[in-house]
Amino acid sequence: MTQRVRAPSTTRILRLNKAGMPLSWLTREEAATLVVKGQVVWSLGDQQLEIRGGFNCLGRQTILLLPTIIATEGNVFRHREIVPYLCNRMLFRRDQNLCLYCGRHFSHVDLTRDHIIAKCRGGLDTWTNLVTACRRCNQRKGNESPESAGMALLAVPFVPNQVEYLALANRNILADQMVFLKSGFSKNMRAQ
């Protein structure tokens, strides 16, 4: 039995391709457009989001029910395709706002990106060479390797797969969407 909920405008709908591979998050308006155009091939989810539209000539408001997960045909909204680009926000989320050296939790503003192999030693700006670190640990480590600084990493940095990246990119994932996404997590994210 699906539950009908009035979702805030910030709620996103998870878009899959026909094969069930998660592709992107859609705004309610984008998802509604696809539903109205008949481009939704199938849908999933325990909830239906109620979207209120305009009033018809009888003074009744139109109501559209949106599934929380939709599979679509073709390459609509291609520009929104997710690539795991690297920015501090996503890096800190991958590491759950923990300093991977001292293991303490910090707010975004108190975190830095640390190059495991320092830039001056040829270290790259990649998901596997970057970890979240607090300012103190980052300074202490300097340009040394974790081994020579005597600062062991608490977790192995990983490149998020597309499903993981989608999960990291949205802070307001609905419960049924999260259940679906989790089935595509690698052991790196499942361990968290």
Question: What is the smallest separation between the CB atom of 160 and Zn ion, expressed in angstroms?
Answer: 22
- Candidates 25, 77, 92, 101: give the one binding Zn ion (CB under 5 A): 101
Contact 125, 95 (CB under 8 A): no
Distance (Å, whole) CA 132 – CA 92: 6
- Candidates 99, 168, 174, 189: give the one binding Zn ion (CB under 5 A): 99
In the complex with Zn ion, the residue whose CB is nearer, 51 or 134, is 134
In the complex with Zn ion, the residue whose CB is nearer, 70 or 137, is 137
Q: Could you tell me which residues come within 8 angstroms of residue 8 by beta carbon, excluding any fewer than 6 positions away? A: none
- Candidates 90, 102, 117, 153: give the one binding Zn ion (CB under 5 A): 102
Amino acid at 95: D
Q: Could you tell me which residues come within 8 angstroms of residue 27 by beta carbon, excluding any fewer than 6 positions away? A: 12, 13
- How many CB atoms neighbour CB 160 within 10 A? 23
Residues in 134-173 at the binding interface with Zn ion, rule: CB under 5 A: 134, 137
Question: What is the smallest separation between the CB atom of 116 and Zn ion, expressed in angstroms?
Answer: 14
Distance (Å, whole) CA 81 – CA 121: 34
In the complex with Zn ion, the residue whose CB is nearer, 134 or 166, is 134
Region of 22-30, 56-64, 128-136, 145-153 interacting with Zn ion (CB under 5 A): 128-136
Provide the binding-site residues for Zn ion, judged by CB under 5 A.
Answer: 99, 101-102, 134, 137
